[in-house]
Amino acid sequence: MNSKVEIHTGLREGVTFLKDSYFTPPYKIANITMSRVEKCLDLMLMSSSPGILDGDASCFEIGLCENSSLRLQTQSYQRLFPMTAGATQRLTVRMEKNSSLTYIPHPVVPHGESIFSATNKIYLNAGCQLTWGEIITCGRKRCDEIFRLHAYRNLTELYYEDRLMVKENLLLKPSLKQPDAMGQLEQFTHQASLIYWNENKSVEAYIPDLLDWLGAEKDIEAGATTFSRGGMMVRMMGYHAEQLHHCMKSIADRLEKNPMSVPTKNFIQEYAN
């Protein structure tokens, strides 16, 4: 099935609103903003399909006007079902000056024999703030489908004023290299990546405390690196999708409120509950 989703924000008296949207089955956009006076727009991407099926081709286009702010959420885990031809997804984000986007989707669960390829292109301008996440799991552990997928690829490119600044190319293809082999995920089964871009904030002083906090989390290994124009990338490896998702959302929430405020252990426990 060919599907398309379009989201465009508007700004009225400092409050972001959904100016225009378009979607085709199985997708739907729900406005879950708690208050009309809240400056940030909260949207949820919903789907009536149980997951991504063979032959699916999805196209997402997101446009943020100047000074607008959007938090986009997903409804549930993204399941990739067994395939022969494969499925594709293309996502394009265009952010005008001083706009803000937070997108932390639920983890991806590739079933056995699934084939999936995704391309994300994000175009930023001066003053933009971006928090972007991805979590890939090993598949259905209880069905003995640990890394039984055929192929999974996710390419993310971040452009600042049309100049490529960040590129992440994740490829899992067990027929070429076992994902849990030495130099890959090794003993871990889940991986999370968080991109935070903000040229107006320095996060170098934040990283040591952040890594100490993540180091206190059970069964998680993490690392972080900064970008030349501001911001950082955090990568985490673990065994549990919910744990990684909660950690990522906690970090994103604190970065959005105050980039120099380190999330506490109590905060992550409260969030998980």
Closest CA to 30 of 2, 91, 62, 72: 72
Q: What is the pLDDT along the chain (273 residues), one digit of tens a residue?
A: 899 999 999 999 999 999 999 999 999 999 999 887 789 999 999 999 999 999 999 999 999 999 999 999 999 999 999 999 999 999 999 999 999 999 999 999 999 999 999 999 999 999 999 999 999 999 998 888 999 999 999 999 999 998 999 999 999 999 998 887 778 888 899 999 999 999 887 788 888 889 998 989 999 999 999 998 888 999 999 999 999 999 999 998 888 776 544 444 444 444 343
How is the chain split into domains, by residue range? Answer: 12-272
| Whole-angstrom distance, CA of residue 96 vs CA of residue 10 | 11
Polymer length in residues for the chain: 273
Please give the full DSSP string across 52-97, using - where no structure is assigned.
B-TT-EEEEEEEE-TT-EEEEEESS-EEE---SS-EEEEEEEEE-T
Please give the full DSSP string across 214-258, using - where no structure is assigned.
HHTSTT-EEEEEE-TTSEEEEEEEES-HHHHHHHHHHHHHHHHH-
Whole-model pTM?
0.90
> What is the residue whose two structure tokens read 């932390």?
104
Q: What angle do CA 57, 180, 248 make, to 5 degrees?
A: 65
| Whole-angstrom distance, CA of residue 259 vs CA of residue 271 | 18
